[in-house]
Structure 1
Amino acid sequence: MVKRVAHPEIIGWRERISLPDFGIENIPAKIDTGARTAALHAVDQTVFEIDGERWVEFMIPVQNRRSPNRVRTQVVDEREIKNTGGVPERRLIVRTQLLLGRHRWQIDVSLANRAKMEFDLILGRTAIRRRGILVDPGHSYLLGSGKAPTGIKKKLRSRDPEVQRP
């Protein structure tokens, strides 16, 4: 039996998120339930070892920022992930904290060159699975800059057919 959340958080197909471990605040992310794994735009990846464990250093050239972030973190996995064209690519997987609205949890993120993509970050379905979140593909930025505008979540949760969505 599937556990249902009484009042799930409803988010749009794109939302503003933060990855504080990587120094990223309030950037637009595409919520992509067709993708399994989250993907972050990361370039100049260099893998090295510290005490027998794999680490990676990379740059995050986030759009609309003056300078890219240089990040150093432990590699948690490496796997084949299909790119947007359906071609498998070998990608490093790292773990980081995600802030989405008032929620905060750890997610796994693949490092990819997303220079030709509209969003520097996509959140795949495993990043939001079992978090009491529903994606409304007809809306964007329902959480605003961390909090949903007054009344929007209440309207979206309503089962009353007279209530119009914003």
Structure 2
Amino acid sequence: MSPVRSYNRLLGRRELVDFPEFDLHGIEAKVDTGAYTSAIHCTDIHIETRQGRPRLLVRLLDPGHEGADGKPLAFAEFNLRDIRSSNGEVQERYVIRARVRLYGEDFEAEFSLSDRSDMKYPVLLGRSLLRQGRFVVDVSRRNLSHKALARAAARRSRG
């Protein structure tokens, strides 16, 4: 008999996530079990060559978004991949690896980069990240990771 996988983390349909390497905290994310790859909103996506090496430059989030300083971020490691959008259309998108923090733990995941300004949430968390973190989604709930961390901090301060 094979062992039963233990799922000890629950996510709601929406979560507040952190991207520690970008110094972005409390970013609203939609948990999407229909999407394989996670996605993050960015603009001004272009390739620049420096010293003979291509670099991907982007601006994460919109300038008005809390924590977004408008400075371009550069990535030396990236790839271009066909990604199927929510409407079934296949688009070529740049994909990077980034750390996202949930329940105080960092998970490295692939994020496709696209202009999500017409979407309600700037970040989408897809199945590959959910599987990696062994998360189960309860669509009737929200911000479970953030709430759990806030409860733990309150318990520590009471002492």
TM-score category of the 2 structures, normalised to the smaller one: 0.7 to 0.9
The offset of 1:72, in angstroms, is: 1.1
The offset of 1:69, in angstroms, is: 4.5
**Cα offsets for 1:2-29 (capped at 9, x unmatched):** 7644351111111110112222111110
1:117 maps onto 2:119 in alignment: yes
The offset of 1:73, in angstroms, is: 1.4
Say if 1:74 and 1:94, in contact at 8 Å, map to a contact too: no
Give me the whole-angstrom Cα distance separating, in 2, the residues matched to 1:61 and 1:141: 20
Partner of 1:71: 73
Partner of 2:156: none
Instruction: Indicate the percent of aligned positions where both proteins have the same amino acid.
Output: 24
The 1:88/1:5 distance shift into structure 2, 3 A limit, reads: same
Alignment map for 1:53-132 (pairs within 5 Å): 53-62=53-62, 64-65=65-66, 67-132=69-134
Say if 1:16 and 1:146, in contact at 8 Å, map to a contact too: no
Name the Cα RMSD after superposition.
2.4
The 1:10/1:109 distance shift into structure 2, 3 A limit, reads: same
Q: Going by fraction, where is helix more abundant, 1 or 2? A: 2
Say if 1:16 and 1:145, in contact at 8 Å, map to a contact too: no
The offset of 1:142, in angstroms, is: 1.2
Say if 2:7 and 2:136, in contact at 8 Å, map to a contact too: no
TM-score (norm 2): 0.82
